[in-house]
Amino acid sequence: MARRYRLKARAQRQEDNRRRIVEAAYQLHMTIGASRATTSAIARLAGVRRPTVQRHFPDLVSLFMACSLHGMQLDPPPDPAAWQQLVDPRHRLLTALCELYPYYRRNRAVFGDIPNFEGVPGLEALFAALAQQRDRQRGILAEGWQVADDRQESLMAALGHALDFWAWRSLTEGQGLDDEKAALLMAEMVQGLAP
């Protein structure tokens, strides 16, 4: 009986350590970016030793994925399915951008750091999922616009640009617009393609 209790207590300690490591990594990813979050810094913040971090997460990919999942549970991205309920494409676009841009603001350290991980083996599925999410968002926002056939490509490009993190960052951090003004400007840009 005592052995079973010790094993259960050990398993609980391991689970607590894993949780603290993921929370520490998430905190660092949100503040300084994942590319600057060293194993030593994560261990220090989690209150564990560096080998403990490496035992739970033997490679960058496993830690990055656990941290990404944790972040999406804490702050899920806007749900494009809710946008489909809005019939007017202009209103749908503005609603989407007014939800998406504050999400970008809250997660800017993570999104800004993503280019540092492109081409890292093992993260292909994550990047494919992000691309699929962007395509789905753009497809939903493209519904209902009355544009000429020769303007469809421009509409899709404008919607893609409006959804882009770097476009948001340019307008807000580069040009000084707040999220709402940036969303309005991008919505007006897209509306310029419609008669």
| Residue the block writes with tokens 């998430």 | 26
Whether 120 and 60 have beta carbons less than 8 Å apart is answered as yes
Mean pLDDT of the chain: 91
Dmax (CA) of the chain? 77
The pLDDT value recorded for residue 31 is 92
The pLDDT value recorded for residue 68 is 87
The pLDDT value recorded for residue 4 is 63
User: In sequence order, what are the residues at sequence separation of 6 or more whose Cβ sits closer than 8 angstroms to the Cβ of residue 166?
Assistant: none
The pLDDT value recorded for residue 6 is 64
pLDDT digits (tens, 9 = 90+) for 81-122: 999 999 999 999 999 999 999 999 999 998 898 888 888 888
Give the pLDDT means over successive 10-residue stretches in the chain (195 positions).
Answer: 65 89 94 90 95 92 88 93 95 98 95 84 85 95 93 95 97 97 97 84
Whether 151 and 125 have beta carbons less than 8 Å apart is answered as no
* Distance of alpha carbon 177 from alpha carbon 73, whole angstroms: 29
* Distance of alpha carbon 169 from alpha carbon 178, whole angstroms: 10
The pLDDT value recorded for residue 1 is 53
